[in-house]
């Protein structure tokens, strides 16, 4: 199963934001198994870097992003995703649209975000960290 992580999940891990950190870190650790593949987008990485840099400084943020990017897959975000977002009238937040189409075009089955309402238009499953863990790891 392919899982797409929104920026807020990555930020929680990079900045050790409790109580979400424990749940988000557990989800990221699933990449080491065979059942799940973890994806994110360049946009999510850029947002996560921004907040990590604010908290820990540039050098630390670079190390954290480097480590993160070496363990997860990066879904492409390019012309196709931009055009799909522009064409989708139900999408009001451009960034969310780019993330959504990056996930869909990478074949992801689930988007994990703490802002589930932002993806009200989604045709794939949208869960927060707690919901995902309860559903797939009872």
**What are the structural domain ranges in the chain?**
2-136
Q: Judge if pTM exceeds 0.85.
A: yes
pLDDT in tens, 81-104: 999 999 999 999 999 999 999 999
31 burial level (CB within 10 Å; 0-12, 13-18, 19+): middle
| Per-residue pLDDT at 34 | 86
Q: 2-136, what's its fold?
A: Rossmann fold (3.40.50)
Read off the pLDDT of each residue in 24-28 and give the average, rounded to a whole number: 95
């Amino acid at each position: 199963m392919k899982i797409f992580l929104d920026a807020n999940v990555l930020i929680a891990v990079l900045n050790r934001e409790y109580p979400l950190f424990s749940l988000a870190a557990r989800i990221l650790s699933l990449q080491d198994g065979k059942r799940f593949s973890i994806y994110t987008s360049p946009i999510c990485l850029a947002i996560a870097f921004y907040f990590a840099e604010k908290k820990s400084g540039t050098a630390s943020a670079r190390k954290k992003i480097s480590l993160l990017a070496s363990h997860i897959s990066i879904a492409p975000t390019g012309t196709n995703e931009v055009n799909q977002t522009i064409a989708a009238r139900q999408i009001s937040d451009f960034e969310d649209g780019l993330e959504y189409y990056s996930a869909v075009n990478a074949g992801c089955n689930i988007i994990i975000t703490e802002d589930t309402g932002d993806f009200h238009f989604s045709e794939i499953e949208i869960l927060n960290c707690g919901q995902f863990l309860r559903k797939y790891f009872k």
